[in-house]
Amino acid sequence: MSAAKKVVVITGASQGIGAELVKGFRERGHRVVATARSIKPSDDADILAVAGDIADPATARRVISEAVEKFGRVDTLVNNAGVFIAKPFTSYTDEDYAAITGINLTGFFHITQLAIAEMEKQRSGHVVSITTSLVDHAINGVPSVLASLTKGGLNAATKSLAIEYAKTGIRANAVSPGIIMSPMHPPETHAGLSALHPVGHMGEMRDVVDAVLYLDSAPFVTGEILHVDGGQSAGH
């Protein structure tokens, strides 16, 4: 199959970075399977929208089965779906824990397992996960234990997958962003959030998209945690 016919599955694809990822891959001529709870059907014949909660294993099964049924294969999986709740550690509730681990970890596990099973059939594929620079660089005033617990786990799992599948043609990488200007952050917060980055400003959603597209087109790169964080992980 030519590169132009690559099939890319993107989770959390209805808005923000996920929606921009859909656009970015379509600009390269790739077919996209977009999933999120609130995803709407697309008029583009090369975009398959599958609605569902990624924390539910049934959603993962439906996404991958419908991807194969419509497009015949899965070449790339972008684990973009994620939730971030900033609270002091002792203020987290059981509901917070369930919500964060359900999307960030359970959601990752089931769809990645099914996608790699499809990739093994063609002995090629790529898994990219969106994590967070907070894993490497905790920030005073930004409580993030559950984000670090879950997204840090994805960083570690990325390296483990990269080695496990290195000889099968399947790669695994992660993009670790700083704070990105997206609908998640209202404009009145931008000045304060910009100051948390050594470069003095927040990132753009396109910065994350470009990083994912680079990794997807870099066949000799696997096991990489690519920081797109305005220098946060390097220090202050």
Tell me the per-residue pLDDT of 160-175, one tens digit each, with 9 for 90 and over: 999 999 999 999 999 9
Q: Which domain holds residue 134?
A: 3-234
* CATH code of the domain containing 34: 3.40.50.720
CA-based nearest residue to 114, from 59, 177, 50 = 59
Q: What is the pLDDT of residue 78?
A: 98
The candidate with the shortest Cα–Cα distance to 232, out of 191, 210, 205, 200, is 200
Predicted pLDDT at 236: 77
pLDDT of residue 5: 85
The tally of domains found in the chain comes to: 1
Provide the residue type at 29 as one letter. Answer: G
51-90: string of b/e by CB count within 10 Å (b at 16+)? bbebbebebbeebbebbbeebebbbbbbbbbbbebeeeee
Asked whether the whole model's pTM tops 0.75, one would answer yes
pLDDT at 2: 47
In the chain, which residues have pLDDT < 70? 1-4
DSSP the chain: --GGG-EEEEES-SSHHHHHHHHHHHHTT-EEEEEETT----S-TTEEEEES-TTSHHHHHHHHHHHHHHHS---EEEE---------GGG--HHHHHHHHIIIIIHHHHHHHHHHHHHHHHT-EEEEEE--GGGTS-BTTB--HHHHHHHHHHHHHHHHHHHHTGGGTEEEEEEEE--EESTTS-GGGHHHHHTTSTTSSPEEHHHHHHHHHHHHT-TT--S-EEEESTTGGG--
